[in-house]
Amino acid sequence: MTHRVGYVVGSLSERSINRRLAKALARLAPHGLELVEIPINELPLYNHDYDGDYPEAGTQLKEAIESSDAILFVTPEYNRSIPGALKNAIDWATRPWGTNSLDGKPAAVIGASIGAISTAVAQQHLKSILAFTNSPVLGQPEAYIQFSDGLITEDGEVTNETTAEFLTLFLTAFAGHIKRNLG
């Protein structure tokens, strides 16, 4: 059985190191996981005035999450938290009240940063938000990738064998988390 994993990159930049990481994860996905990006760059800022007439971008986000078996969040750290675009996407996904697309959806969090622990701070904040959405989040292994030039190519090839092995281990653990939560 193949599980469809929608992944959300917290950075809107096409040159983001976290976008490279997401491409690497898609390349390394073990048999049984299919990773598909859920774009968030077209979402307007959420406000409840939209609840009665959801814009197409919000509807597409919710449909993409609902058609996925699980969600993988790939996030950078901005000012000791997650990017505003990622928080905005989560707000769209969980609104209007009673239509939380993340409810019960298995999730995992990973990220890359130039510094040794920056993404760790953002990930802890994101895990707190996801707990409120009732999305069961993979606890271990935690995955804080310290990015350096050449670690991951533009097309997602991981050039360091140890990093590739760790990312494969992370994805295998996520696959197990998905199976446990979906029954």
Residues 6+ apart with CB under 8 A from 99: 62
Q: Alpha-carbon distance 126 to 164, whole Å?
A: 24
What's the confidence (pLDDT) of residue 118?
86
Block means of pLDDT (10 residues each) for the chain, 183 residues, are 97 96 98 97 96 95 98 96 97 96 98 90 96 98 96 97 98 98 92
pTM above 0.95, yes or no: yes
Domain annotation for the chain: domains and CATH numbers? 3-182 (3.40.50.360)
What's the confidence (pLDDT) of residue 84?
97
What's the confidence (pLDDT) of residue 183?
81
Token output for 23: 């491409």
Token output for 49: 């005035």
